[in-house]
Amino acid sequence: MRGHINENKQKQVYKVIGKHVYGNLYEIEDKFLTDLEFLIDIVNKSAEIGNLHIIEVYTKKFKAINNMPGGVSVIALLEESHIALHTWPESNYATIDIYSCGKKSSPEESFKFILNKLKPKTFKMFKADRGN
């Protein structure tokens, strides 16, 4: 862990590495967006691939809207921060957030893994520096 001295406070201030990769995924087939077990599985595997360590995975399956199956939220609390996957089957849409403060992790790889599993026709990916 790297650090630098804050002269005023005489306290070593450690550098936080914070890599946040997130995206919006369009035109996904319905079947990928409603299957809770499948979505939990890809979140678990995406963590493994990105060298992220899951503490716990939390889920919510939402109620049907206008006779369309409801969406799903899968949130993984990580040793390195969090993963959040939200789906909207009524819009064939999903979003992914992979946020990691792990120096040896690759949230990009986790993101790509989920992308390959959900197979959107188009998507947007963004990166944000969440370090100090």
Residues with catalytic roles: 81, 86, 101
CB 89 to a second copy: min, Å: 10
CB 1 within 8 A of CB 15: yes
Indicate whether 40 belongs to the interface with a second copy (CB under 8 A): no
Question: What does the per-residue mask of binding to a second copy show for 65-104, with x meaning CB under 8 A?
Answer: x-------x-x-x-x-xx-x-x-x-xxxx-x-x-x-x---
Integer angstrom CA distances of residue 107 from 19, 35, 56, 59, 97: 7, 23, 17, 20, 9
Given the rule CB under 8 A, which residues bind a second copy? Answer: 1, 11, 13-16, 18, 20, 22, 24, 26, 55-56, 58, 60, 62, 65, 73, 75, 77, 79, 81-82, 84, 86, 88, 90-93, 95, 97, 99, 101, 126, 128-132
